[in-house]
Amino acid sequence: MQSRLRVQGHPIQPMLVTFPLGLFVSATVFDLTDVIGGPTFLGEVGYWTGVAALFAAAMTAVAGMVDLWDVPVDRTRRTAIAFNLVNAAMAGLFLVTCLVRAHSPQRGATVAILLTEIVALAAGGVGVHLGARLMRQFDNGRTDAGSLDALAGATVEVARPRP
């Protein structure tokens, strides 16, 4: 199975997934710092980091939907659909927290918002597991040139010096 969206032979969606996940984790760390008594501006930084993560998640979801068209109807397709749904649930929970905070003047975090973000990150952890399984299913039978499996059929001949 080849992805339709590729850059120099590599699928785009696995590259894009790291951006929203990293931004969601960063937003949660900023909000945690705000909740435990850090500087108040970190709550607003957490809010805007969450907004940036939502835009990155939207781009990733589009790439995932394009790739989903070519997935054969089997276990791989079920894993791909579960992966996309779990990531959408994570983004949905962060969307709710951003919408709740959008109308407050400081956009600071509360304990309830922080707990919601932690639950969303737990869903993201499930998404990481499903993404790893999905990559193994896509690469099943394909040998990466950088792995030791690529050397399985290789032979080495040593040239002997001539007397």
Number of helices (H) and strands (E) in the chain: give both, helices first: 4, 2
Give a yes or no: residue 34 inside a domain: yes
Distance CA 91, CA 84 (A): 10
Query: 133 near 109, Cβ under 8 Å?
Result: no
- Prediction pTM value: 0.76
The reply to whether 108 falls in a domain is yes
Residue 95 in domain:
yes
How many domains, in total, are found in the chain?
Answer: 1
The per-residue pLDDT for 148 is: 55
Residue 58 lies in a domain: yes
Distance, in Å, from the CA atom of 106 to the CA atom of 115, rounded to the nearest integer, reads 19
Spans in the chain with pLDDT lower than 70: 1-11, 138-163
With beta carbons less than 8 A apart as the criterion, state whether 162 and 62 touch.
no
pLDDT of residue 9: 64
Q: Is residue 82 part of a domain?
A: yes
Task: Tell me the residue range of the domain where 40 lies.
Answer: 9-140
In a domain, 107, yes or no: yes
Contact 43, 108 (CB under 8 A): yes
pLDDT at residue 161, rounded to an integer: 63
